[in-house]
Amino acid sequence: MELIDRYIYAVTQKLPESQREDIASELRGLIEDMLEERVNGREVHEEYVEEVLQELGNPKKLAQKYRGTKRYLIGPEYFDTFLYVLKIVLIAMSVGIGISFVIQIIINPVSILDHFIEMIISIFTGLPMAVGWTIIGFAIAEYYQEDGLQELKKEQDWKPSDLPPIPNPKGSIKRSESIAGIVFLVIIMAVFAFSTDYFGVWFFQENGFRGVVPFLNEGTYVQWFLLLILGLGILKEVIKLIYGKWSYHLVMLIAIINIASFVGVLFMINGPDVWNPNFINELIQRGLFTEGSEAFHVVTQIWNNATNWILAILAIGLIWDIVDGVIKTVRSK
Amino acid sequence: MMSDAQKHMEKLMQELRRGTITIGVLSQLSEPQYGYSLVTMLGDKGIQVEPGTLYPLLRRLEKQGLLASQWDTNDTRPRKYYLLSETGKEVYDLLVVEWKGIVESLNHVINPKGGNEDGTD
């Protein structure tokens, strides 16, 4: 009865593991009962088995009936918003990659072919990453959606007095702000995806750009950390776009993301080889100041304390972000 | 070939049956039954239900707490028997009242003259 085994397997493999065994034995009993009735004491033929399985129908459909509700990564309720945000993200990403290509040509027009190849590479690495983060954002929203029974209960208990007030404009999240935020983050991301070399002190002369003394140590894991943190920033804007208005739920999600970003920065900044070890020397070489001068001491001190300052400013910024959300939520009530 | 009207009818009947089958199933389960015996019992009483519909329905009703179940391994083959739970009994009684109400009201609207002849209108 190999056919029966195959049928039962086809149904149960698409069901939660905890129910598989029980459903399999019940289904086997059913098939045997149906066979017995059909065969009526005669010898069991393969044809009879086929007839019975045909009557039970497509195993996919049967499994669907057993599952009852359908499960989604991004459900129909969010799908349209998802497409909308995805479009924004992809356009922003393409613009970002384009802009950083232009910047590179301005800085170094000779190796235009290299820049072009780099652009192609970042299209193939950056775009899937942007799509990935967008999906993660929506999948989180979908996951935290209230389950069916709770929603049903709420719907049944509905009274006209439950009607939400027309949202206070103070509490609504401006789409344009979130979109601008995403575009901005994506542009920075695109530039960093090429190189962190342009993140530093820029030097210009009469005949134009002369070069940059970078803050960061090129070619370490730092670049990936920065991309991850910027990605979290985009995720935050996407979640804001989905929610559309301030609520404590949203503030909580933002707090979680901010804490994650802060921990990320903390890890990155305390790791070895983050900062450009030759920063001060390069500034001297460029003739910005001479060793031992007053400017030298000031810059050196700032440079040496940079880690703490950045962490402090970042912490204040991230906490303000949360406080701001709480204030806006309170005001909109 | 099926006519358009028949196709529409089939679709609507599917929706209608979905709810009535539940009442049919609950009505037969004051004594423990296993799935296929229910298919036969209901079929004999003119309620056609496919095993592929009934088996998942039984599990769902069990999950909702309207049915209790027990495996019987003494038989020639192991079978899962279902029985109305206390909640199930209550729900069934309530459903029957509702159903009778629906039938009465629908009879009224389908056949409004009937009401006049009875003098109840």
For A22, the domain range is: 2-67
**Does residue A39 sit in the same domain as residue A175?**
no
Location of structure tokens 């789409």: A175
Cβ distance B52 to A22 less than 8 Å, yes or no, reads no
Given A67, A90, A105, which residue is the final one in a domain?
Answer: A67
Judge contact between A11 and A27, C-beta under 8 A.
yes
Residue type, A280: I
Strands (DSSP E) contained in A16-115 are none
Cβ distance A33 to B52 less than 8 Å, yes or no, reads no
Chain B residues with beta carbon closer than 8 angstroms to that of A12: none
**Does residue A104 sit in the same domain as residue A28?**
no
Cβ distance A29 to B53 less than 8 Å, yes or no, reads no
**Does residue A82 sit in the same domain as residue A45?**
no
**Does residue A56 sit in the same domain as residue A115?**
no
Given A67, A93, A111, which residue is the final one in a domain?
Answer: A67
Q: pLDDT exceeding 90 applies to what percent of chain B?
A: 56
Judge contact between A134 and A90, C-beta under 8 A.
no
Cβ distance B56 to A29 less than 8 Å, yes or no, reads no
Beta bridge partners of B33: B82
Distance CA A187, CA A181 (A): 10
Closest CA–CA distance from residue B117 to any residue of chain A (Å) = 40
**Does residue A41 sit in the same domain as residue A88?**
no
Closest CA–CA distance from residue A153 to any residue of chain B (Å) = 15
Closest CA–CA distance from residue B60 to any residue of chain A (Å) = 8
Nearest to B77 among A23, A32, A66 (CB): A32
Closest CA–CA distance from residue B9 to any residue of chain A (Å) = 22
Closest CA–CA distance from residue A137 to any residue of chain B (Å) = 32
Chain B residues with beta carbon closer than 8 angstroms to that of A34: 36, 51
Beta bridge partners of A209: A204
Chain B residues with beta carbon closer than 8 angstroms to that of A19: 59
Given A47, A67, A87, which residue is the final one in a domain?
Answer: A67
Cβ distance A65 to B36 less than 8 Å, yes or no, reads no
Cβ distance B51 to A30 less than 8 Å, yes or no, reads yes
Closest CA–CA distance from residue A23 to any residue of chain B (Å) = 9
**Does residue A163 sit in the same domain as residue A311?**
yes
Q: Which residue of B has its CA nearest to A64?
A: B56
Beta bridge partners of B82: B33, B69
**Model confidence over A189-240: pLDDT tens digits?**
767 766 677 777 777 766 666 677 888 877 667 777 888 888 888 889 888 8
Strands (DSSP E) contained in chain A are 200-205, 208-214
Residue A287 backbone dihedrals phi, psi, to 5 degrees = 80, 25
Query: Helix, strand, or coil here: A200?
Result: strand
pLDDT band at B120 (very low <50, low <70, confident <90, very high): very low
Interface list for chain B against chain A, based on CB atoms closer than 8 Å: 34-36, 50-53, 55-56, 59-60, 71, 77-80
Nearest to A68 among B50, B60, B78 (CB): B60
**Number of domains into which chain A is organized:** 2
Distance CA A166, CA A179 (A): 23
H or E element at residue A66: helix A59-67
**Model confidence over B77-116: pLDDT tens digits?**
889 999 999 999 999 999 999 999 999 999 999 987 654 5
Looking at residue A156, what is its pLDDT? 67
Looking from the CA of A60 toward its CB, the CA atoms found within 13 Å total 0
**Does residue A18 sit in the same domain as residue A148?**
no
Predicted-assembly ipTM surpassing the 0.85 threshold = no
Location of structure tokens 């196709």: B7
Higher pLDDT, B8 or A194: B8
Looking at residue A207, what is its pLDDT? 65
- Measured CA distances, B33 to A286, A295, B80 (Å): 91, 92, 8
The token pair that represents A305 in the structure block: 């304390």
**Does residue A59 sit in the same domain as residue A125?**
no
Location of structure tokens 């009207």: B5
Q: At what angle do helices A17-39 and A2-12 cross, to 10 degrees?
A: 140
Chain B residues with beta carbon closer than 8 angstroms to that of A57: 50, 52
Backbone φ/ψ region at A147: left (φ over 0), alpha (ψ -120 to 50), beta: beta
Per-residue b or e along A164-201, where b marks 16 or more CB atoms closer than 10 Å to that residue's CB = eeeeeeebebeeeebbebbbbbbbbbbbbbbbbbebbe
**Does residue A55 sit in the same domain as residue A101?**
no
- Regions of chain A with pLDDT less than 70: 1, 69-70, 146-156, 158, 162, 164-165, 167-168, 190, 193-195, 205-210, 219-220
Cβ distance A29 to B51 less than 8 Å, yes or no, reads no
Query: Any idea which architecture B4-118 has in CATH?
Result: Orthogonal Bundle (1.10)
**Does residue A44 sit in the same domain as residue A108?**
no
